[in-house]
Amino acid sequence: MKIVADECVDDEIVLRLRNDGHKVSYVAEVSPGILDEDVLILADKEDTLLLTADKDFGELIFRQGLVKRGILLYRLAEMSKLEKAEIISVAIAEHGDELLGSFSVLTEKTIRIRRV
DSSP letter string, 50-103: EEE--THHHHHHHTT---SS-EEEE--TTS-HHHHHHHHHHHHHHHHHHHTTEE
Q: Please answer whether residues 53 and 8 qualify as being in contact, where contact means their C-beta atoms are separated by less than 8 angstroms.
A: yes
- Name the DSSP letter for residue 46: T
- Residue 7, CA distances (Å) to 4, 89, 97, 99, 115 in order: 9, 18, 23, 20, 24
pLDDT of residue 32: 93
- For residue 45, the model assigns a pLDDT of 84
**The pTM is what?**
0.92
Question: Which of 93, 107, 71 is CA-nearest to residue 22?
Answer: 93
Q: How far apart are CA 27 and CA 112, in angstroms?
A: 25
Rounded to a whole number of angstroms, the CA Rg of the chain reads 13
State the pLDDT confidence band at 116, using cuts at 50, 70 and 90.
confident
Q: For 21-80, write each residue's pLDDT tens digit.
A: 999 999 999 999 999 888 988 888 888 999 999 988 777 776 666 556 789 999 998 899
Domains and CATH numbers, the chain: 2-115 (3.40.50)
Residue 74's DSSP bridge partners are 106
